[in-house]
A and B are shown apart, each in its own frame.
Chain A
Amino acid sequence: MTSSFWILLAPETGLIALILLVLGLDLFTKLDQAKLILFSILGLFLLFGTLVFVWPLRGNALNGLFQVHALATFLKFIFLGAGLLTLVITKEFTKNLGNRASNFILLILLSVLGAFFLASTNDLISLFITIEWMTLSLYILTAFLRTDAYSLEAGTKYLVMGAFSSAVFLYGISFIYGTAGSIRFEAIREVASSAHQSPLFLFGFLLILSGIGFKIAAFPFQLWAPDVYQGAPTPVTAFLSVASKTAGFTALVKVLFAVIGPDALNWSAVIAVISGATLLYGNLGALAQTNMKRLFAYSSIGHAGYLLMGIAAGTSFGLQGTLFYLAAYAISNLTAFLVIVIANEHLGSGEIIAYRGLAKKSPFLAGSFFIALLSLGGIPPLVGFFGKFLVLQAAVWKGYLWLALLGAANVIVSLYYYLSVIKEMYFKPPVQNAEQIQLGILPQFSLGFLVASMVGLGIFQAPLFYFAHAAAQTLF
């Protein structure tokens, strides 16, 4: 079924309209920044409608360079959800942004727009440009607090490392283009599936993998993550850990499954080894952390290991597991960051010790954090458990028993540091005054919704499971 250009591009068009509207409101009216955020949140919420509308559609636009299929729409749901919740988190952070909050919102909206195009790309150049689009806005957002030394340091580090990895990525594309003679996925796939590849093609593939490895903070390329996550403004950290990671995995899935193909080049073993190393680095590194955002940086490296595990399986089921895990991770991690941003504002510190006795100050906040941490750790019946279950199962079926065992062992390691945060919140008395934290309606509603979806999707996995199934099928 082919549909017309405008129908296929409805979510993107809608988002561009929203960006222009927010920009116009900011420039020409004296609308207060908090109201502007609420307006953007409402706009993004309405965009879910266009995604639901696009979900059953399949088709190409712009000479086949823009594709709409179940996988693209699934990923757009995650990107939109991440953007929406990041704005909710930003709402709690507004007073740190001063009169520049509108720029902050616009950059996040633009980043989501880039991610939308990324999900639909069908050639290496658009893939590169959309990834750059997202990362460029994230460089600016990371260095947004110009008077905060940590933020500037994080922004500079991220810029330098990111520029280097982009160069590597682009260099790899030039080799692939030189040997395959095309940048379109189908054309390259024909070359990749032939029996004999030129060494230059393999070299290019290796360079592309390294470039993507940086974006998802996988093992040999993960060193930037803790400093950047800690220094960036908290909403940006949340966005980095969910949207940027999902974008990296989108690129990886496209390169491995659409460009190279699941059976060619035997890449599965390489990804399995990277997955194992990433798991160990992230989870063991997290044990020693005292800063909350740094802890989450390491834990997100660990989660990248699990996400890679599903990809390493190289099967439709493994990809489905990874997609399910991505959605579960997005929900749980954004819940955690919503709590972190509110708690940091009230406690005045981002150290884990400052969370002592949070349960007394706000039972609701601590309770949501409790559920989010357990979901991230993989405790049944929460949604995070089922994601881990799927990727481990995929690894076992592929024959990577050692990887599955390593993953299971790392669940225990991760529970140690997640539970130690819970211990601080529930079983230690508050250090300072134990005044109550008052929550606004928006965070209360969002936290309630997120906790409900973590529990609900953990018990009735079927909707998300089949959703991910349909998405994974498009590449097989």
Chain B
Amino acid sequence: MNHLEPIFFYAFSLIAVLGSAIVVANKRPVYGVLALTVTMLALSALFVLLKAYFVAVIQVLIYAGAILVLFLFVIMLLGMAAVETSQRQRETKKEALFLETIRILKILLPIAFFTELIILTLAAKDAGIGTRNLVGTVEAIGQALFTDYLLPFELVSGILLIGIFGIVTLTQKEEELSLRGGPNGPTK
């Protein structure tokens, strides 16, 4: 098994990188979301190779299962036509040049970033970073969360509370809604 591991690792890494490259390069949102799903699944396979089984399952359930489906729903509800025409209308001549530059940068920057990461990783290989025998089962994670890392775990609940507050606050009805401010109005 051990000598097969690198093969799996490189195969899934390649799939993940290709998937994210398609997300960046692609113009059609639906294809983007589908490519992202592929990336997520490949990532979860990588987690399995790292023996982080719990994270792998969560990756499939939450990212691939819930969040990306949510993306698809948003695109469906907005309508593909609306997304694409608004994109086409924006492109006058000058803007097209600008967008083209950005598109090239979008490809080049990640490549530069990843090259740097690979160089760093190769350099770090000799520094002898310890390998640890951790197994990411549900039991191990539960144990860590409720004993050693109880404080951060509880603090996250505070963040969720703020999220709820935010939704209530930003959508709650007010007695009178009138547009204040604007370019000439007073800013409070």
Contact = CB atoms under 8 A, between A and B. Distances in A.
Contacts of A197: 127
Interface of A: 62-63, 65-66, 93, 96, 98-100, 103-104, 106-107, 110, 113-114, 117, 121, 123, 125-126, 129-130, 132-133, 136-137, 139-140, 143-151, 178-179, 181, 196-200, 203, 230-231, 233-234, 291, 293, 344-345, 348-350
5 contacts: A96-B188, A137-B166, A144-B169, A179-B129, A198-B123
Contacts of A179: 124, 127, 129
Given A100-B172, A107-B162, 18 more contacts: A62-B151, A63-B147, A63-B150, A100-B174, A107-B165, A117-B158, A123-B149, A126-B151, A126-B155, A130-B155, A133-B162, A137-B162, A146-B170, A147-B180, A148-B180, A149-B181, A179-B129, A350-B186
A103 B165 contact: yes
A198 B159 contact: no
A93 B188 contact: yes
B132 A181 contact: yes
B121 interface: yes
B166 A140 contact: yes
Contacts of B81: none
Interface residues of B, number: 39
Contact of B159 (A136, A146, A199): A136
Contacts of B187: 148, 150, 230-231, 291, 293, 350
Given A100-B174, A148-B188, A65 B152 contact: yes
A147 B187 CA distance: 11
Contacts of B150: 62-63, 65
B148 to A, nearest CB: 6
Nearest to B182: A149
B163 interface: yes
Contacts of A196: 127
Contacts of A181: 129-130, 132
Contacts of B147: 63
Contact of B123 (A96, A151, A199, A345): A199
Interface string B44-59: 0000000000000000
Interface majority SS (helix, strand, loop, mixed), chain A: helix
Interface of B: 120-121, 123-124, 127, 129-130, 132, 147-152, 155-156, 158-159, 161-163, 165-166, 168-170, 172, 174-182, 186-188
Nearest to B183: A149
Most chain B beta carbons < 10 A, residue from A145, A200, A233 = A200
Contacts of A93: 188
A106 B165 contact: yes
Contact of B155 (A133, A139, A140, A145): A133
Nearest to B116: A203
Contacts of B174: 98-100, 146
A136 B152 contact: no
Nearest to A95: B188
A432 to B, nearest CB: 14
A172 to B, nearest CB: 13
Given A96-B188, A136-B159, A150 B169 contact: no
B119 to A, nearest CB: 8
